[in-house]
Amino acid sequence: MRLHIADPRNQEETLTTASNFNIRSATENDAGTIFSLIKELADYERLAHEVVATEDDIRKSLFGERPFAEALIGEYEQIPISFALFFHNFSTFVGKPGIYLEDLYVKPEYRSNGFGRKMLVHIARLALKRNCGRFEWSVLDWNTPAIRTYDKLNAKPMKDWILYRLTGEALLELANEG
């Protein structure tokens, strides 16, 4: 296995090679691939009706003047089969940044080959390289294959915490208060 980790924000390629599976930092040319994989993920999660983003939104948000997140592309035999999208957050208790994994997706026909785990290992290494104190993500409660994978990693569910979200009209109402 050959491993080279560089900060994607410095425009250096991040590459992990094991067998015929490579992980690399996404580039602007990958916006269409990322968007396509996002739509596949939404179908898998039974949330396709919630996808309002466009390929252009992904391009601007990941590669525009102020990138808000980063993405990795997993390729098997040079074919994109997975992606991970993540961003930095901050822990006031730890006093360090963290990485929040928004999405990790592997095409169904490539699952159970360890590719998702390799993506997680890659991001964990980035977190350590960037002096992050945490690496966090959410999972749908019915996604037992993913939950089993996370349990094998010794990741701990945060059962004391409840995720809250404001979107749409509720977000507008709060923003317009006062």
Query: Two tokens at 115?
Result: 């590719």
The residues assigned a catalytic role are 150
SS3 11: coil
Bridge partners of 73? 24, 83
Rounded Cα–Cα distance for residues 113 and 118 (Å): 10
Dump strand ranges (E) for the chain: 2-4, 15-18, 21-25, 70-76, 79-91, 96-106, 134-137
